[in-house]
Structure 1
Amino acid sequence: MRHTFHLKTLAVAVATLSVASVASAAGLDRSGQDITAFLQDGTYAEAVYTYIDADVTGHDNAYVGSDNKAYTQGKKIDDIAESYDFFRYGVKTDINETFSVGVLYDEPFGAAADYTGNNNFVTNDDADALIQGFTGNLGLNEGLVDQNITDLKGALAPGNPGNFSPEQLQEFQGQLIGLEAAKGLAATAGETTQVEVRTESITGIFGAKFGQNKEFQAYGGPVAQRVQADVKLRGTAYSAASGYTTHINPDQDYGWIAGMSYSKPEIALKAALTYRSEIKHDAKAFEVFPIATAAGARAGLALPTTRYADIEINTPESVNLDFQTGINPTTLVTAKVRWVPWSDFAITPSLYNDVSKVSTQDDDGLALVSYDDDQWQVELGLAKRLAPVLAVSGTVGWDSGAGNPVTSLGPTEGYYSAGLGAKYNVTENWAVSAGGKYLWLGDAKGQIPNKAIVSDFESNDGFVLGVKVSYQAQ
Structure 2
Amino acid sequence: MKYLTSVSLLALSAVAAQAGGIERSHSPYAILWEKGNYVELSYGRVMPDLTGERPVAPGVSLGSGNILEDFSQVGLGLKYQLNSNLDLAIVFDQPMGADIAYPGGLISGPAPYPIAGSNAEIETNAITAMLRYKFDDSWSVHGGLKLQRTKGNVELFNTAFPGGRYAMETSSETDAGFLIGAAYERPDIALRVGLTYQSAIKHDFEVMEGFGPGAPTTAGAMEVETPQSLTLDFQSGIAADTLLFGSLRWREWSAFDITPPLYSSIGSSDPQNPNNALVDYPRNVVTLNLGLGRKFTENFSGMVSIGYEKANDFRTSNLGPHNGMKSITVGGSWTQDAWKVSGGVSYIKFGDAETYAPVSGQFADNDVVAVGVKVGYSF
Q: Same fold (TM over 0.5)?
A: yes
| Alignment match of 1:244 (pick from 143, 151, 166) | 166
Trace 1:25-104 onto structure 2 (pairs within 5 A): 25-62=19-56, 74-104=61-91
| Paired position in structure 1 for 2:187 | 265
| Paired position in structure 2 for 1:145 | none
Give the unaligned 5+ runs of structure 2.
none
Is the 1:342–1:402 Cα contact (8 Å) retained in structure 2? no
| C-alpha deviation, 1:97, in angstroms | 1.9
Distance in 2 (CA, whole Å) between partners of 1:228 and 1:403 is 29
| Alignment match of 1:353 (pick from 254, 260, 264) | 264
1:318 equivalenced with 2:229 (yes/no): yes
| C-alpha deviation, 1:96, in angstroms | 1.4
In structure 2, do the counterparts of structure 1 residues 389 and 305 end up closer, same or farther at CA, with 3 Å as the change threshold? closer
| Paired position in structure 2 for 1:335 | 246
| Alignment match of 1:433 (pick from 339, 342, 345) | 342
Larger strand share, 1 or 2: 2
Distance in 1 (CA, whole Å) between partners of 2:158 and 2:113 is 5
Is the 2:4–2:303 Cα contact (8 Å) retained in structure 1? no
1:462 equivalenced with 2:371 (yes/no): no
Instruction: Say which SS state the counterpart of residue 80 (structure 1) adopts.
Output: coil
In structure 2, do the counterparts of structure 1 residues 313 and 443 end up closer, same or farther at CA, with 3 Å as the change threshold? same
| C-alpha deviation, 1:239, in angstroms | 5.4
Distance in 2 (CA, whole Å) between partners of 1:442 and 1:28 is 15
In structure 2, do the counterparts of structure 1 residues 122 and 257 end up closer, same or farther at CA, with 3 Å as the change threshold? same
| C-alpha deviation, 1:52, in angstroms | 0.4
Of 308-317 and 382-391, deviating more is 308-317
| Paired position in structure 2 for 1:19 | 14
| Alignment match of 1:197 (pick from 114, 122, 132) | 122
Distance in 2 (CA, whole Å) between partners of 1:470 and 1:305 is 45
Structure-1-length-normalised TM-score: 0.73
Structure showing greater radius of gyration is 1
| C-alpha deviation, 1:73, in angstroms | 5.7
| Paired position in structure 1 for 2:133 | 208
Amino acid across the alignment from 1:421: G
Distance in 2 (CA, whole Å) between partners of 1:278 and 1:72 is 45
In structure 2, do the counterparts of structure 1 residues 196 and 469 end up closer, same or farther at CA, with 3 Å as the change threshold? same
Structure-2-length-normalised TM-score: 0.90
Trace 1:95-134 onto structure 2 (pairs within 5 A): 95-116=82-103, 117-118=106-107, 119-122=112-115
| Alignment match of 1:423 (pick from 333, 336, 356) | 333
| Alignment match of 1:407 (pick from 302, 305, 317) | 317
| C-alpha deviation, 1:378, in angstroms | 0.9
Trace 1:179-194 onto structure 2 (pairs within 5 A): 192-194=117-119
Distance in 2 (CA, whole Å) between partners of 1:390 and 1:201 is 32
Give deviations 1:347-373, integer Å, cap 9, x for gaps: 12121123338x89xxx8432211121
Distance in 2 (CA, whole Å) between partners of 1:402 and 1:274 is 25
In structure 2, do the counterparts of structure 1 residues 101 and 12 end up closer, same or farther at CA, with 3 Å as the change threshold? closer
How many pairs are equivalent?
370
Distance in 2 (CA, whole Å) between partners of 1:381 and 1:284 is 43
| Paired position in structure 2 for 1:387 | 297
| C-alpha deviation, 1:269, in angstroms | 1.0
RCO higher in structure (CA 8 A, sep ≥6): 1
Give the unaligned 5+ runs of structure 1.
1-6, 64-70, 124-191, 293-303
| Paired position in structure 2 for 1:442 | 351
Q: In angstroms, what is the RMSD of aligned CA positions?
A: 2.6
Larger helix share, 1 or 2: 1
Is the 1:258–1:276 Cα contact (8 Å) retained in structure 2? yes
Instruction: Say which SS state the counterpart of residue 412 (structure 1) adopts.
Output: coil
| C-alpha deviation, 1:208, in angstroms | 1.6
Is the 1:33–1:106 Cα contact (8 Å) retained in structure 2? no
1:220 equivalenced with 2:213 (yes/no): no
Is the 2:279–2:320 Cα contact (8 Å) retained in structure 1? no
